[in-house]
Amino acid sequence: MRDIEITEPVEITLNGELVTAQNGELLIDACERNGSYIPRFCYHSRLTPVGMCRMCLVEVDTGRGPALQPSCMIPVSDGMGVDTESDGVAKAQDGVLEFLLANHPLDCPVCDKGGECPLQDQAYAYGPGESRFVEEKRHNEKPIPISELVLLDRERCILCDRCTRFADEVAGDPLIHFIHRGSHTEVNTFPGEPFASYFSGNTVQICPVGALTASPYRFKARPWDLEETESTCTRCSVGCRVVVESSRNKVLRLQGVDSDPVNWSWLCDKGRFGFQAGNSGNRLSRPLQRCESGELSEVGWNTALDSAASVISAAIAGRGPQSVAVLGGARLTNESAYSWAKLAKDVIGTDNVDCQLGDGLPAELVLGLPGASIDEVCEPGATVLYLGPDAKEELPILYLRLRHAADFDGVKIVEVGPTLTGLSPYAAESVTAVPGETPSVLAALLDGTSEHVEASALLRNASDLKVVIGRANLAEDEAITVQTADLIRESVPGATFLPALRRANVRGALEAGLAPGFLPGGATLAGTLPTGWQSMPAERGGGAAEILEDAANGRVDVLILLGSDPLRDFPDRSLARRALAGAKTVISIDPFVNASAEQADLVLAASMFSESAGTTTSLEGRVTALNQLVTPPGTARDDWMIAVDLADRLGADLGVETSADDLAEEMAGFSDAHVVLGDGAPVGDGVMLDISGRDLLTSAEVEVPPANAYSLRLVLNRTMYDKGTLLEESESSAGLAGESVVKLSAADAAPLGVDGSTQVKVTSEHGSVTVAATIDSRVPKGVAVMHHALGDVDAGTLLVHGDPVCDVRVEVS
């Protein structure tokens, strides 16, 4: 049950005693809050009540005498009388339980739900011990797969409608349904249409029996053997709260926690099943060093750290501290990110540090814009200008929250972007802007000269505009996003912003100072020396693109990849390649030997999610706990430990006595949110940073070349499942990445002779790839869409960092 604030108290009589409840709340909740838990199966506080299972029947008296009513359907009103314990109620509930058990198989000993099953618990607590049902039970084929990840055992199903309601009203993927009728009713998919939903795992979590199971957990453990801890999902920046469960030092399951400001108990499948990467056999358990033969081979930590320290010292002594560069850090905990910021900027003295890979938002925007929380964006009645990437693909639970806001809370979403997205069906208005033209399209919308009258009116009439801002197109210069933000702030001074960041802890890493020109807490190099620091970089360094450019030109002696893989993630793929080749020494700190690490001279084995404790900061600026439950493989260790050891070898002390808490304590010096963390990990919904914004904002004016009639503008974006390392290393998602394609509008496809899946050649000024073309109704005319990191086709070779947009020609090959 969710906590609520009682704003409209009414008195009801519950089992003879006067108690207070919130007017209009459901009786089942009011009774629970007042100490009478009513058994239930179909009711779920995040789903529309349906009153189907009848388990929650109680006697309700509204003046006409007591009558059996489902308490999950009855809103509380003043003076209501409720009896949850009468003989009649007990008989009705026992009756329902008996009915549910009549056809239920005696599977408990082999059922994954056994031990945490409400049906089993109820039957055990109140059941008669012997069945009066002597007939043969209903039979169905034992579990049938309804999707890649979820299996359904119809014999165990009690037809509570939770999974089906979830699929329909929460996920918006109504692909599972009741079929047949009466006692033949069953949940199933439509023929030939699997339950292909990014959110399918939630149905397993909310199924009150063992009817739905997810393949990653089936037959892996019994609930009573599990150890658990609360934590935060780190597969994207939404920051969903989770319970992590393990057995024998292995994470086996993640469950969503009902965090009211964040994920409402839901998780996306990427987040829910992504823990599998941690259990992958390809995990790095010891440091690797490139040996004489050119192979990467295992070495001890002392050797590895010594050689890392010596190349760094040599670089500092040689061309100076700026010849060392640190790329990445957005996947680290706040504490590790801080330790690395301090190592880089204080100990080494370089400002060539960037936690993002040219695919995010400039630090000035994230740290500077006046912020809006997820709840503020989804506030009933709000108007939201959505300028981010496809939320369904990249920020799945933010998508669910926005979808709910639009469907149930009257939130008007005006989406402006290069294509239609997963959110478009729920947006009040979707306006497409060809890459490069967002600022001009938006300017017209905001000043009322746009032909999109409704969208314009919505934006212009919004009293309190919320903006979700991000990169919908990696082939478009980030300066255009800066220009867009500037334009909005100019036209709508009170607008607040939610940055649609990608990696889990970009915000925390930026707050920790992992960006050029910045110190912890959003301070700049112009500011004072942070407490506990000895020095700071003498000159401002460069961001990811400049670092790679420098590396390519032989100006980087040590390139440290801090949990980053530029070869896969930096949009300008050829620059990334040249940089890795051009850097004198490449040190990768990662749980895996990713594509970039394969080219490194030294790979330091890092711990992962649930192997290290600390905190993380979500896109809205919420600091929540990451707790440790299992140990990392071999001698792999936390990133902050590596930083401390390196600092030590470089003759400095990062100030850590015992644990990452010492770092947290130091961070408290520059951030209110971290004060709490000083005395241990924050519990519950975490703590919000001050997101009121900082005076850091710059403006930009980008000259976008006019589109020419022979070419299309490239949109490069992401899908939920791609060939990223963590997805590939998770058993359940490994096969889910789609094939590389270029998606065209029907209008552009026709003259090219493209239909179905024609092979085409996509050529830009800088490169060319051959790929299958498909027609997609979400793509507007004049635009070609390719996805990041799918298959072997490397769309990143088509673009060059710094070009405002990327024009391509598409020809049938």
Partner 1 sequence: MSDTAVDTQESTQEVPKVVSSRFDVDDGHTLHGYTQSGSFEGYAALRRALTMTPGAVSELVKDATLLGRGGAGFPAGVKWGFCAPDVWPRYVVANGDESEPGTYKDRLLMERDPHQLIEGSLIAAYAIGAAQVFLYVRGEMPHAQERIAAALNEAYEANFIGKNILGTDFSVDIVLTFGAGAYIVGEETALIESLEGNRGMPRLKPPFFPAAKGLYMMPTIVNNIETLSNLPWLLSHGVREYRSIGTEASPGTRLIALSGDVERPGVYEVPQGTTTFRELFESERYGGGIRGGRELKMFIPGGASAPWFFPEQVDLPLEGRVVGAEGSMLGSGAVVVMDDTTDAVRACWRLVRFFARESCGKCTPCREGTVWEERILRRILDGQGRPSDLDLLLDVADNISPGPYPLAAHPEAGLEAVPFPPRQTTICPLGPSSVAPITSAISRFRHEFEGKINRKDSIPVTSAGVTSV
CA distance 491 to 319: 46
Q: With CB cut-offs between 5 and 8 Å by kind, which of partner 1, ligand SF4, ligand FES, none does residue 236 bind?
A: ligand SF4
Site for ligand SF4 in 385-444 (CB under 6 A): 396-397
Question: With contact defined as beta carbons under 8 Å apart, do 625 and 320 qualify?
Answer: no
The strand pairing partners of 587, in sequence order, are 560, 602
CA distance 372 to 390: 19
24 scored as a contact of partner 1 (CB under 8 A): no
CB of 75 to partner 1, least distance (A): 8
Two tokens, residue 463: 């009293």
CB of 276 to ligand SF4, least distance (A): 13
The strand pairing partners of 622, in sequence order, are 688
Q: Given the rule CB under 8 A, which of 70-78, 412-420, 529-537, 548-556 is the region that contacts partner 1? A: 70-78
Contact with ligand SF4 (CB under 6 A) among 27, 157, 427, 786: 157
736 scored as a contact of ligand SF4 (CB under 6 A): no
Site for partner 1 in 175-214 (CB under 8 A): 178, 180-185
Cβ neighbours of residue 467 closer than 8 Å, sequence gap 6 or more: 372, 384, 385, 386, 387, 485, 488, 495, 496, 497, 498
- Give the pairing of strands 687-688 and 429-432: unpaired
CB of 161 to ligand FES, least distance (A): 9
651: left (phi over 0), alpha (psi -120 to 50) or beta: left
Q: With CB cut-offs between 5 and 8 Å by kind, which of ligand SF4, ligand FES, partner 1, none does residue 600 bind?
A: none
Nearer to ligand FES, 74 or 536 (CB): 74
CA distance 672 to 668: 6
CA distance 67 to 574: 73
CA distance 85 to 74: 17
Q: With CB cut-offs between 5 and 8 Å by kind, which of ligand SF4, partner 1, ligand FES, none does residue 187 bind?
A: ligand SF4
775 scored as a contact of ligand SF4 (CB under 6 A): no
User: How many C-beta atoms lie closer than 10 Å to residue 463's C-beta?
Assistant: 8
Q: Give the amino acid at 381.
A: G
**Using CB under 6 A as the criterion, which residues of the chain lie in contact with ligand FES when the complex forms?**
40-43, 51-56, 70, 72
Question: With contact defined as beta carbons under 8 Å apart, do 566 and 327 qualify?
Answer: yes
H helices of 279-345, in order, are: 301-318, 334-341
Nearer to ligand SF4, 205 or 574 (CB): 205
Two tokens, residue 124: 């055990």
739 HSE (CA, 13 A, CB side): 10
Contact with partner 1 (CB under 8 A) among 33, 54, 113, 401: 54
SS3 58: strand
Cβ neighbours of residue 537 closer than 8 Å, sequence gap 6 or more: 321, 322, 345, 349, 350, 351, 525
What percent of the chain is helix, strand and coil (3-state, nearest 5)? 30, 20, 50
Nearer to partner 1, 164 or 263 (CB): 164
CA distance 498 to 366: 9
Q: With CB cut-offs between 5 and 8 Å by kind, which of ligand FES, ligand SF4, partner 1, none does residue 64 bind?
A: none
Q: Given the rule CB under 6 A, which of 156-164, 341-349, 680-688, 766-774 is the region that contacts ligand SF4? A: 156-164
Q: Given the rule CB under 6 A, which of 43-51, 73-81, 159-167, 430-438 is the region that contacts ligand SF4? A: 159-167
98 scored as a contact of partner 1 (CB under 8 A): yes
Counting every residue written for the chain, the total comes to 813
CB of 56 to ligand FES, least distance (A): 3
561 scored as a contact of ligand SF4 (CB under 6 A): no
Nearer to ligand SF4, 207 or 347 (CB): 207
CB of 489 to ligand SF4, least distance (A): 28
Q: Give the amino acid at 514.
A: L
Nearer to ligand FES, 100 or 576 (CB): 100
Residue nearest to ligand SF4 as judged by C-beta position: 271
Nearer to ligand SF4, 626 or 704 (CB): 626
233 scored as a contact of ligand SF4 (CB under 6 A): yes
* CB-count burial class (<10 Å; 0-12, 13-18, 19+) for 447: exposed
CA distance 305 to 303: 6
The strand pairing partners of 772, in sequence order, are 741, 759
Two tokens, residue 659: 């644990």
Asked whether the CA dihedral 424, 425, 430, 435 is positive or negative, the reply is positive
Q: Interface mask (CB under 6 A) for ligand SF4, residues 179-198, using x and -?
A: --------x-----------
562 scored as a contact of partner 1 (CB under 8 A): no
CA distance 505 to 745: 35
Q: How many residues bind ligand SF4 (CB under 6 A)?
A: 26
Question: With contact defined as beta carbons under 8 Å apart, do 340 and 514 qualify?
Answer: yes
Contact with ligand SF4 (CB under 6 A) among 57, 212, 691, 712: 212
User: φ, ψ for residue 405 (rounded to 5)?
Assistant: -60, -45
Contact with partner 1 (CB under 8 A) among 26, 82, 159, 793: 159
User: φ, ψ for residue 412 (rounded to 5)?
Assistant: -100, 115
158 scored as a contact of partner 1 (CB under 8 A): yes
Nearer to ligand FES, 52 or 469 (CB): 52
CB of 91 to ligand SF4, least distance (A): 18
CA distance 217 to 247: 11
Contact with partner 1 (CB under 8 A) among 21, 26, 55, 712: 55
Q: With CB cut-offs between 5 and 8 Å by kind, which of partner 1, ligand SF4, ligand FES, none does residue 56 bind?
A: ligand FES
Nearer to ligand SF4, 484 or 733 (CB): 733
591 scored as a contact of ligand SF4 (CB under 6 A): no
619 scored as a contact of ligand SF4 (CB under 6 A): no
Contact with partner 1 (CB under 8 A) among 28, 53, 397, 783: 53
CB of 316 to ligand SF4, least distance (A): 38
Residues that bind ligand SF4 (CB under 6 A): 157-163, 187, 207-209, 211-212, 233, 235-236, 238-240, 263, 267-268, 270-271, 396-397
Residues that bind partner 1 (CB under 8 A): 50-55, 57, 67-68, 70, 73-74, 88, 91-92, 94-96, 98-100, 102-103, 132-133, 135, 158-159, 178, 180-185
